[in-house]
């Protein structure tokens, strides 16, 4: 085998979005498309490392969610890594590693960084999406400075260094060699499971299952399956069959692996049966998202974060208390109320997990979460689906209470933040940009305006001043905040691959326990109408309602 240097030409549009470079599989299948991006990444890493050595002598972690093209991409990346100075790659067996597991392995093995192959919750298969993301040595997504540098490099890259070695045996555990680089195929679950053992009371959980506690985890034919099976069924003694759709499939068996009530409808209907298990949960394509479900009861991610914060001291890994909490701006303010009551710092960041990284690294927060079914803690630098599920399991074990009763009690104590997100998908890009531009222009006139019984007390385009590195992120979403705590937020998705997706986030606060059980969409119907009145959503998109409301 030898290292080849082959000429290449730049591709337009290789700018990573909210969470890496995501495109249709057909785009990634173009000759040199993946190679250009990875070569650009390696060029930037080689040029930017402070010691001048770059990747030389370093270890990278590699794995993906098993979607279509995962196995081919793994082989290509190994050959590129071997030709660009990497000393060692830790590869998940079969090319498999969940996103939180990549983060855990980078941290546990003190690797230089890692590459995650995933398009998260986007559908997979030949007609679906593929994605690639780089994580740094803290285990978290690369900074915007780095991803921008990679993007710039993709525009000027002219050659690819790649080994012509034959494919590696990626299903066989152990060490192999490619050029001078070692490839160690590792058990994808082991490091992650060890971390979970440190955080949760596994004896308590084993006791719960031994006494007949029932649970259903829907892994949606995605990468969370092997993790949930090994930990829940293997180590904790949950009955075989507790984890369903547990084998990662290249096309997720046709499922849309996004754990929300719409896409995980099977789990929702199962949990509504009279013989429903005690606890239900689902994860997304790369197992960083989670949905928590009680009997005929779905917990919103915003409430999940608030309850975790309120009860953290009951969980062994957090018994010393929390340093602080953080939520993305569109996530409901339910956690703010708990933080205030407990005297904890509470941060509001732009959408995207990467903004939590600095706060976690600086020891300012322990828990963080997003409305988009993402919750996590300082144990890794990604959100973590199975971690959230184990947290809720441990919480039920420690309190002896069901999911439903825990949430109802929470609302009685803190009040309820009614919350929904309306997605308008496949909107023409110009129409979506026009809507946002006009809204931004209208902001000064909206301040102080009265809508029914509510008055707008804040109308702005959210900007974030990172308290750790003082960087500023502007234009992160238009906010209308009302005098009664209600919020209406507009932003465009940064992860979609077709047209634009307008996200509308609606929230209202209800302190009165007698009014805390209204169906969510009715409770927020007036705010939805207000949003349409202000932004002309129906008129501009030609859609009479959202494509998805969760
Ligand atoms: C979406 C979610 C966001 C999450 C991201 C990656 O981004 O809204 O919370 O961090 O996926 O999972 P968006 O498409 O809204 O930019
Ligand atoms: Zn994901």
Q: For a pocket test of ligand 1, which of 129, 135, 494 has the largest count of ligand atoms closer than 8 A to its C-beta?
A: 494
Asked if 181 and 165 count as a contact pair (C-beta separation under 8 A), the reply is no
* Distance from the alpha carbon of residue 294 to the mean position of ligand 2, in angstroms: 22
Phi, psi of 235 (to 5 degrees): -85, -35
pLDDT band at 53 (very low <50, low <70, confident <90, very high): confident
CA–CA dist 342, 345 (Å, integer): 9
Region 474-483 average pLDDT: 97
- Indicate the DSSP class of residue 141: B
Q: Which of 40, 120, 377, 508 is catalytic?
A: 120
Cβ–ligand 1 distance for 245 under 6 Å, the answer: no
DSSP 513: G
Query: Looking at the predicted structure, is the pLDDT value of residue 174 above 80?
Result: yes
pLDDT of 18 reads 66
Closest-lying ligand to the alpha carbon of 22?
A: 1
> Is the pLDDT confidence value at 484 over 80?
yes
Q: How far is CA 28 from CA 44, 148, 249, 274, 447, in A?
A: 21, 20, 19, 46, 46
Instruction: Answer whether residue 441 shows pLDDT above 90.
Output: yes
CA distance 518 to 416: 11
Is-contact 301 505, C-beta < 8 A? no
Give me the phi and psi of 174, to 5 degrees please. Answer: 120, -175
Distance 50 CA to ligand 2 centre (A): 31
Is the predicted pLDDT of residue 32 greater than 80, yes or no? yes
Q: Is residue 493 annotated as a catalytic residue, yes or no?
A: no
93 pocket-lining for ligand 1 (C-beta < 6 Å): no
Ligand nearest to the CA of 121: 2
The helix or strand, by DSSP H or E, that contains position 95, with its residue range, turns out to be strand 88-96
- Tell me how far apart the alpha carbons of residues 479 and 500 are, in angstroms, rounded to a whole number: 19
Test site for ligand 1: of 286, 351, 385, 547, most ligand atoms within 8 A of the Cβ: 351
Question: What share of the chain in percent tops pLDDT 90?
Answer: 95
Q: Which atom of ligand 1 is nearest to the CA of 18?
A: 16
Distance, CA of 357 to chain centre: 13
**How far apart are the CA of 301 and the centre of ligand 1, in A?**
13
Strand, coil or helix: 248? coil
* 334 closest CA partner among 410, 397, 386: 410
Distance 532 CA to ligand 2 centre (A): 30
Helix (H) or strand (E) holding 528: helix 525-535
* Average pLDDT in the chain: 96
C-alpha to C-alpha distance for 25 and 252, rounded to whole angstroms: 14
Q: How far apart are CA 98 and CA 67, in angstroms?
A: 11
Strand segments, DSSP code E, in 321-453 are: 325-328, 346-349, 367-370, 374-377, 416-427, 450-451
Whether the pLDDT of residue 254 is over 70: the answer is yes
Distance from the alpha carbon of residue 81 to the mean position of ligand 2, in angstroms: 25
Helices (H) and strands (E) in the chain, counts: 18, 27
Instruction: Provide φ and ψ at 294, rounded to 5°.
Output: -95, -165
Residue 202 and residue 204: Cα distance in Å, rounded?
A: 5
How many whole angstroms from 23 Cα to the centroid of ligand 1?
15
For 205, 373, 455, 487, 506, the CA distances from 526, given in Å and listed in that order, are: 43, 25, 14, 12, 10
pLDDT for 27: 97
Q: How far apart are CA 534 and CA 536, in angstroms?
A: 6
The three-class DSSP label of residue 505 is: strand
Decide: 352 in ligand 1 pocket, CB within 6 A: yes
Confirm if 93 and 185 have CB atoms less than 8 A apart: yes
Is the minimum distance from the CB of 372 to ligand 1 under 6 angstroms? yes
Give the Cβ contact number of residue 25 at 10 Å: 18
**Over 70: is that where the pLDDT of 202 sits?**
yes
Identify which of 291, 352, 381, 498 to mutate to test ligand 1's pocket (most ligand atoms within 8 A of the CB). 352
Whether the CB of 302 sits within 6 Å of ligand 1: no
What are 113-124's pLDDT values in tens digits? 999 999 999 999
- Residue 276: its pLDDT value, please? 98
Task: Output the residue whose Cα is nearest ligand 1's atom 10.
Answer: 352
What distance in Å separates the CA atoms of residue 137 and residue 102, rounded to the nearest whole number? 11
The full set of domains in the chain, from first to last, is 3-188 (3.40.120.10), 192-414 (3.40.120.10), 416-549 (3.30.310.50)
pTM exceeds cut of 0.85: yes
| pLDDT of amino acid 144 | 84
Q: What is the DSSP string of 4-50?
A: EEEE----TT---BTTBEEEEHHHHTSTTHHHHHHHHHHHHHHHH-T
Q: What is the pLDDT of residues 312-331, one digit of tens each?
A: 999 999 999 999 999 999 99
| Residues paired with 89 in a beta bridge | 60, 183
pLDDT of 401 reads 98
pLDDT band at 7 (very low <50, low <70, confident <90, very high): very high
In Å, the largest CA–CA distance within the chain is 74
How many angstroms is it from 466 CA to the middle of ligand 2? 24
Proximal ligand: closest to the CA of 352: 1
For residues 72-84, give the mean pLDDT: 98
* Terminal C-alpha separation, the chain: 52
Protein residues placing their CB within 5 Å of the ion ligand 2? 120, 284, 286, 288-289
Whether residue 19 has its Cβ less than 6 Å from ligand 1: yes
For the cut 80, the answer to whether the pLDDT of residue 51 exceeds it is no
Q: What is the pLDDT of residues 523-545, one digit of tens each?
A: 999 999 999 999 999 999 999 99
Nearest partner of 401 among 294, 276, 316, judged by Cα? 294
Q: Is 287 a residue whose pLDDT tops 80?
A: yes
Inform me whether the pLDDT recorded for 156 exceeds 90: yes
Contact 39, 224 (CB under 8 A): no
* CB within 8 Å of 53: residues ≥ 6 apart: none
Confidence at residue 50, expressed as pLDDT on a 0 to 100 scale: 65
The residue whose CA has the least distance to atom 11 of ligand 1 is: 495
Give the number of other CB atoms < 10 A from CB of residue 482.
23
CA distance linking residue 322 with residue 303, whole number of Å: 17
At 360 the three-state DSSP class reads helix
> What is the rounded average pLDDT of the residues 183-208?
98
């Amino acid at each position: 085998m030898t290292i080849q240097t082959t000429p290449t030409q730049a591709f337009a549009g290789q700018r990573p979005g909210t969470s890496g470079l995501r495109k249709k599989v057909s785009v990634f299948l173009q000759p040199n498309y993946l190679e250009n991006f990875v070569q650009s990444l390696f060029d930037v890493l080689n040029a930017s490392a402070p010691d001048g050595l770059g990747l030389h002598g370093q270890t990278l972690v590699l794995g993906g969610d098993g979607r279509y093209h995962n196995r081919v991409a793994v082989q290509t990346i190994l050959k590129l890594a071997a030709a660009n100075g990497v000393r060692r790659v830790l590869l998940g067996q079969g090319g498999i590693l969940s996103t939180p597991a990549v983060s855990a392995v980078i941290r546990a093995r003190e690797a230089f960084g890692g590459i995650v192959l995933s398009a998260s919750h986007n559908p997979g298969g030949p007609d679906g999406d593929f994605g690639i993301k780089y994580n740094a040595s803290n285990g978290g997504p690369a900074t915007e400075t780095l991803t921008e540098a990679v993007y710039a490099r993709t525009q000027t890259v002219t050659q690819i260094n790649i080994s012509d070695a034959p494919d590696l045996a990626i299903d066989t555990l152990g060490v192999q060699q490619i050029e001078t680089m070692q490839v160690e195929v590792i058990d994808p679950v082991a490091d992650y499971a060890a971390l979970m053992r440190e955080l949760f009371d596994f004896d308590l959980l084993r006791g719960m299952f031994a006494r007949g506690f029932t649970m259903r985890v829907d892994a949606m034919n995605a990468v969370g399956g092997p993790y949930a099976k090994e930990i829940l069924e293997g180590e904790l003694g949950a009955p075989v069959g507790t984890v369903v759709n547990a084998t990662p499939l290249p096309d997720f068996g046709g499922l849309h692996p996004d754990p929300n009530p719409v896409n995980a409808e099977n789990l929702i209907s199962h949990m509504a049966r009279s013989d429903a298990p005690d606890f239900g949960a689902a994860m997304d394509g790369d197992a960083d998202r989670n949905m928590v479900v009680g009997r005929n009861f779905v917990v919103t991610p915003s409430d999940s974060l608030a309850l975790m914060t309120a009860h953290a001291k009951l969980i062994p890994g957090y018994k010393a208390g929390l340093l602080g909490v953080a939520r993305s701006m569109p996530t409901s303010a339910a956690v703010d109320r708990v933080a205030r009551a407990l005297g904890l710092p509470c941060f509001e960041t732009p959408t995207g997990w990467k903004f939590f990284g600095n706060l976690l690294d600086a020891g300012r927060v322990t828990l963080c979460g997003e409305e988009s079914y993402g919750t996590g803690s300082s144990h890794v630098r990604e959100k973590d689906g199975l971690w959230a599920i184990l947290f809720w399991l441990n919480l039920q074990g420690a309190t002896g209470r069901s999911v439903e009763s825990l949430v109802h009690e929470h609302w009685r104590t803190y009040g309820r933040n009614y919350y929904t997100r309306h997605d308008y998908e496949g909107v023409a890009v110009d129409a979506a940009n026009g809507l946002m531009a006009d809204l931004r222009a209208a902001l000064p006139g909206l301040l102080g305006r009265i809508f029914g019984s509510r008055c707008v007390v804040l109308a702005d385009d959210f900007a974030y001043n990172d308290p750790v590195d003082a960087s500023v992120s502007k234009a992160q979403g238009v906010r209308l905040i009302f005098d009664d705590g209600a919020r209406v937020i507009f932003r465009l998705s940064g992860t979609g691959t077709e047209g634009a997706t307008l996200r509308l986030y609606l929230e209202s606060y209800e302190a009165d326990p007698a009014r805390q059980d209204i169906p969510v969409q009715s409770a927020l119907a007036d705010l939805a109408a207000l949003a349409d009145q202000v932004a002309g959503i129906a008129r501009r998109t030609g859609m009479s309602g959202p494509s998805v409301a969760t």
